[in-house]
Structure 1
């Protein structure tokens, strides 16, 4: 076998990684991550990501309209921009329909601008993309960087992509060995000072949340300071380009009111560990279950209501 044939055979046998995100296919976090994956020469890299910023869309999907997909040039990868949500992109990417029958071994969603700790996983399109792959039996990782306005820079996203590569390599090795667990997917958050992180730490999802309020305003396009998107935990106070065409409408914008922090005890809560400088690795499942101790309460309430209804 000549060298070119050998190279082609090796490429065909390489593990396949699909990358998606919610910040859009042009986002630096995604581009740096793809660059790192390609540079290892270990993976066949596919990309299917939204054609525009779809931050905060959670696990929403496109139901009736057809998705428009356009090929995008990314060195070393086969890439498409799609008109759908992150969950759409993950679903299409693992279907075998977009990449000529090729189904990924692993889906990586990110790297997102802004952490996705605690309650933020409910809103996160980044997590939604990873969860969608998990629901269909494909191992998946959601990755986010704890961006701090006026402190973080685009280069920090590059560093974030570098520091998560050992974890991706480990997960892929477990997948290939048949030892990777099927019951969860991983939500990974990278600290603000990614270059000096304290290592990986397995954590539990806490209750951290950026509390949002509303203010009446006129429509303004958000300015971009270095790089930031509509993540709910990223401060964005600069506005420009007032749109006076909507002056007869009542317009309201979301504003950050406060951040509520973890109240749980323990040293393994996701946001606490992230702020302490760790790369947090939080296993998540598909379901959101209530605490077990509320079940007796609701059973008693329902029983009383039924008795009242029968009595009348």
Structure 2
């Protein structure tokens, strides 16, 4: 009887699915899953890329079949998938991969490197959450503001820990039927996660690590990919690239500068993150133009 009751309780537990863009072996994802399992209140699923897919935005795989391989993660049912974060979110919520089980909540992360401001456009982490949201599943994207030469893998563990109260609160709202369906959340944890100033609702700003190009020669990566998973981390090494032709010109991306509009206000995501807050930014899937440009374009069309 006891085992039957335990099985029934497990089946009734809220279902959380974790994905990311750093890959299923990334420590940010593993620490998050460990924390969720330790809670003892969730049924935990994992559907994440089998390799690092950072910076792929909302790219999807259309023509090729996805290869899914079961991965051993203690306390969770997990698959590594030969696709993008959006692919993984889509497959994971479809009911096809997990024997009809559809998650109550999708978590994407924890990413290495912030996803504030315009970085949201490039982020595979945000895309994983956005894909779930598009199909009606509540979702959170979570990132840690990694600083090269200062941050450590243990900081990712702390970042996972400080996100758990927010995850629990969101699940309570979902189960009570009071959670809003019009947005998903983009969460960024400050570099000093252990001494954060609390959660703060913020707006997406215009922060951006501006990218330029430099000509280079082939150099095999010398650090783990999960340590260079963000476009906003200094010292990123060259990725493995094809050097079959000696006549090829090789170019790499480099960070030219970081910029944001300081007049945006105190409630913008990057400024609040830099001030030490865990930023919680509601996002939607649509990219609408500012309302004040509509009359201009109407006038332009009227003259054609």
- TM-score category (smaller protein): over 0.9
Q: After superposition, where does 1:1-312 map in structure 2 within 5 Å? A: 2-224=1-223, 227-238=226-237, 245-305=244-304
Residues 218 and 244, structure 1, Cα contact 8 Å, conserved in 2: no
Gaps of 5+ in 2: none
| 1:310 paired residue number | none
Q: Deviation of residue 301 (structure 1)?
A: 1.2
103-112 or 295-304: which moved more? Answer: 295-304
Gaps of 5+ in 1: 306-312
Q: 1:241 to 1:188 in 2, by over 3 A?
A: closer
Give the superposed CA RMSD.
1.6
Following the alignment from structure 1 to structure 2, what is the Cα–Cα distance between the partners of residues 30 and 287? 27
Residues 204 and 270, structure 1, Cα contact 8 Å, conserved in 2: yes
Q: 1:242 to 1:26 in 2, by over 3 A?
A: closer
Q: Deviation of residue 241 (structure 1)?
A: 9.0
Q: Secondary structure at the match of 1:220?
A: coil
Q: 1:12 to 1:171 in 2, by over 3 A?
A: same
Q: Deviation of residue 230 (structure 1)?
A: 3.3
Q: Deviation of residue 237 (structure 1)?
A: 4.5
Following the alignment from structure 1 to structure 2, what is the Cα–Cα distance between the partners of residues 133 and 165? 19
Larger radius of gyration: 1
Q: Deviation of residue 224 (structure 1)?
A: 1.6
Give the TM-score, by structure 2 length. Answer: 0.97
Following the alignment from structure 1 to structure 2, what is the Cα–Cα distance between the partners of residues 244 and 183? 47
Give the TM-score, by structure 1 length. Answer: 0.94
Following the alignment from structure 1 to structure 2, what is the Cα–Cα distance between the partners of residues 226 and 250? 24
Residues 153 and 226, structure 1, Cα contact 8 Å, conserved in 2: no
